Amino acid sequence: MLTKVKELLIGPPLPTHSILRRQLSNIQALAAFSPGALASIAYANQEIYLGLAVAGSAGLAFTFPMGLAIAGLMLVVALSYYQIIFQYPSGGGSYEVARKNLGEIPGLLAAAALIVDYLVNVAVSLTSGVAALASAFPALWPHRVAVALILLLVITLINLRGMQEAGSVVAAPVYAFLASFFCMLLYGLFRLISSGVQPLPAAAPPAVEPVTLFLILHTFAAGTTALTGVEVISNGVPAFRTPKARNAGKTLIVMAVLMGSLFLGSNGLTQYLGVAAGPQETILSALARHLFGNGVFYYFIQFATLGILTVAANTSFAGFPRLTSILAKDGFLQRQFTSLGDRLVFSNGILLLGGASAGLIVLFAGDTHALIPLFVVVAFLAFTLSQTAMIAHWWRNRSAGWWWKCGINGVGALVTGTTFIIVCISKFAEGAWLSVILIPPLVLFFQRISAHYQVVRRQLSLRGLPPSLKPAPPTRVVIPISGVHRGMIGAVAFAQSISSHVTAVYVELEPGSSERIKKDWTKWWPEIPLAVVPSPFRSMIRPLMKFLNETDEQQNDGQLATVVLPEFIPNHWWESLLHNQTAWLIKAALLYGNRFRNLERVVINVPFHLEG
């Protein structure tokens, strides 16, 4: 039944050989990987507006200059990633680049930053999208967390169905957003030309602070969130059709152009048309309302914004499971993340991402603004690490024209590094501190896992062992019994079929109860000796362990006896709650609890099926 529910939700399993067909065309890939970058203009504009509005009109006069600075930064970073795609087409992105060129720790630092980045991206995109919706329908404002969680559930299910489906579902909102926003920007430009530049609204938020350098840097730090998502394509190269790198590179250029023009266009229009927003409205909603009033087109724009932000959350669902599968393949995460699910997607990564980002949304009560500082810190940490790594890469290879390519990444490293420092300082108290308690523990966690796997690999190696192995001596069997009943027949018969040295043992929980058991036992199995062990504290496990260890040592030169456990298998799972889980407890104690003389004790389950 569980299988049926699963198939209804995510579809029937797909055979492994069909994996080759599941690659994305450039149009699909743009829809799958770019919405994060495109949609970030929504919250970036919002952050710039919130940051500058505290200084009133004087502050808002810096809107477009700020936008130009950020767009310049965007250009540098996009060019840097364009180079990365061709040098590292296997899709590890910042992690792979940093690990190969700077070493393991910087690589893991980048991986940790990316992991947090993907999580926060989901939370930021969804909460920002819901804010766009709630700007149009104020009644939804108190229910933003619930709406965001419902959207998250839908996205998670779509992604569990598989990449290709995700690609088709997300394409529509992305192109609807692009079309409607370009229409709005063109119409805005026409209005600007026809009516000229508007004064900044004096009725807008009153100035509570003067325009200081700190205010400008503080706003810039938050506004650079416009760049988040620009790296996603470089992590997703393997999902493109061949030639993968060329297709990914082309898609990146198209994305960067779209991103820059949308950002600068909307940013400029809000300033020069003199737009201001109320307390429960986003600045982009205010711009759309300013241009179109409360007409159909305004609502269309809001839904398109919600749409692209929802699929922006989806970019994490493309990138995160890939990253965790790469980390797992390299031994830094549980191996389970490498396994393809029924639908040929990394289901474990998708489920982890869905769960963790739901946690973030609840924790931050659905407030985009509160999430931004953490988002920017981890994004620019990853940017800086990968640009720095590329400098090392070019220096090491020094092929023709290397200094020119190195220069691009050098500028990239410089500007992203500087921005990283600005963000850390100016936004530390506002949430950037969270990265300090998230990133280092994650790095330690990766290292711990890696160390464990290495130890295991060494222990599992057969190297150095002689090819002819000593055969095991004939086995000796002990059967713990709870009574003399039909469930014992199979166990005793099996024990006798594999060993000529079989003993039964009864742990006497209730004083005196062994009398009848002994009588019954001798009647049925007179040839098998039955030992009785008292248990004054009514524990099953401890007296049994003591008995096993003592008889092994005293009577059998330390050779461990095999334990045969008769186990009831009820007809329905809930019925097993009606039986003492003694067999299970004994098994756990034998395998896990007790390491007698560092030898391994074999445990045999002989099931006895109950009917009805």
Q: How far apart are the first and last CA of the chain?
A: 19
CB closer to a second copy, 555 vs 580: 580
CB of 155 to a second copy, least distance (A): 24
Rounded to a whole number of angstroms, the minimum distance from the CB of residue 612 to a second copy is 5
Of the residues 294, 339, 418, 555, which one makes contact with a second copy according to CB under 8 A? 339
Q: Is 486 in the site for a second copy (CB under 8 A)?
A: yes
Question: Could you tell me how many residues of this chain bind a second copy (CB under 8 A)?
Answer: 79
Residue with Cβ nearer a second copy (21 or 195): 21
Nearer to a second copy, 340 or 370 (CB): 340
Q: Is 500 in the site for a second copy (CB under 8 A)?
A: no
Nearer to a second copy, 401 or 536 (CB): 536
Angstrom CA distances, 273 to 46, 58, 188, 266, 404, stand at 16, 15, 8, 10, 41
- Out of 4, 5, 16, 399, which residue is the one contacting a second copy (CB under 8 A)? 16
Question: Where in 548-607 is the site for a second copy (CB under 8 A)?
Answer: 562, 567-570, 573, 575, 577-580, 587, 591-592, 595, 598, 600-607
295 vs 511 by CB, closer to a second copy? 511
Closest approach of a second copy to the CB of residue 605, in Å: 5
Cβ-count burial of 282 within 10 angstroms (0-12 exposed, 13-18 middle, 19+ buried)?
buried
Strands 530-534 and 477-481: unpaired
Task: Give 49 or 525: the residue with its C-beta nearer to a second copy.
Answer: 525
Q: Which is nearer to a second copy, 515 or 575 (CB)?
A: 575
Please state the closest distance from residue 571 (CB atom) to a second copy, in A: 9
Neighbouring C-alpha atoms within 13 Å toward the C-beta of 20: 1
How does 449-459 read in b/e, with b if 16+ C-beta sit within 10 Å? bbeebeeeeee
Q: Cβ of residue 497: shortest distance to a second copy, in angstroms?
A: 4
* Footprint (CB under 8 A) of a second copy, residues 504-523: 510-511, 523
Choose between 411 and 610: whose C-beta lies nearer to a second copy: 610
Based on the shown chain and the rule CB under 8 A, indicate whether residue 193 belongs to the binding site for a second copy. no
CB of residue 562 to a second copy, shortest distance in Å = 8
| C-beta of residue 479 within 8 angstroms of C-beta of residue 566 | yes
In this complex, which beta carbon is closest to a second copy, that of residue 396 or of residue 452?
452
Assess contact for 26 and 251: CB atoms under 8 A: yes
Q: Rule CB under 8 A: is residue 398 a binding residue for a second copy?
A: no
Strand, helix or coil for residue 240: strand
DSSP 590: I
CA 240-246-247 angle, to 5 degrees, is: 40
Residues sharing a CB contact under 8 Å with residue 380, sequence separation 6 or more, in sequence order = 224, 227, 416, 419, 420, 423
Please return the burial class of 62, using the count of CB atoms within 10 Å of its CB with bins 0-12, 13-18 and 19+.
buried
Task: Using the minimum distance from each CB to a second copy, give the nearer residue, 396 or 485.
Answer: 485
Round to whole Å and give the CA distance between 487 and 281: 70
Cβ 600 to a second copy, closest distance in Å?
Answer: 5
Q: Smaller CB distance to a second copy: residue 192 or 603? A: 603
Query: In angstroms, rounded to a whole number, what is the distance separating the alpha carbons of residues 533 and 540?
Result: 10
Per CB under 8 A, 303 contacts a second copy:
no
Select the residue interacting with a second copy from 203, 293, 537, 557 (CB under 8 A). Answer: 537
Site string for a second copy, 362-381 (x = CB under 8 A): --------------------
Query: Which residue has 């190969």 as its token pair?
Result: 100
For a second copy, the binding residues in 435-474 under the rule CB under 8 A are 449, 452-453, 455-456, 459-462, 465, 467, 469-474
* Residue among 295, 286, 231 at smallest CA distance from 80: 231
Among 164, 198, 334, 522, binds a second copy (CB under 8 A): 334
Stretch that binds a second copy, among 20-28, 197-205, 312-320, 334-342 (CB under 8 A): 334-342
Whether the CB-CB separation of 540 and 586 falls below 8 Å is answered with: yes
CB of 470 to a second copy, least distance (A): 7
Shortest Cβ distance from residue 9 to a second copy (Å)? 17
By CB under 8 A, what part of segment 79-118 binds a second copy?
A: none
Give least dist CB 465 to a second copy, A: 7
Taking the complex as a whole, how short is the minimal distance between the CB of residue 606 and a second copy, in angstroms? 5
By CB atoms closer than 10 A (0-12, 13-18, 19+), residue 175 is middle
For 507, the enclosing helix (H) or strand (E) is: strand 502-508
Give me the helices (H) in 224-330, please: 232-235, 244-272, 283-292, 296-329
How would you label 112-136 residue by residue, b for 16+ Cβ within 10 Å and e otherwise? bbbbbbbbbbbbbbbbbbbbbbbbb
329, 335, 396, 546: residue in contact with a second copy (rule CB under 8 A): 335
Q: How many angstroms separate the CA atoms of 371 and 375, rounded? A: 6
Least distance between a second copy and beta carbon 89 (Å): 22
| 3 touches a second copy by CB under 8 A | no
115 to 154, contacts with a second copy by CB under 8 A?
A: none
Pair of tokens at residue 1: 């039944």
Report in angstroms how near the CB of residue 442 gets to a second copy at its nearest.
16
Residue 201 CB, shortest distance to a second copy, in Å, is: 45
Distance CA 591, CA 585 (A): 10
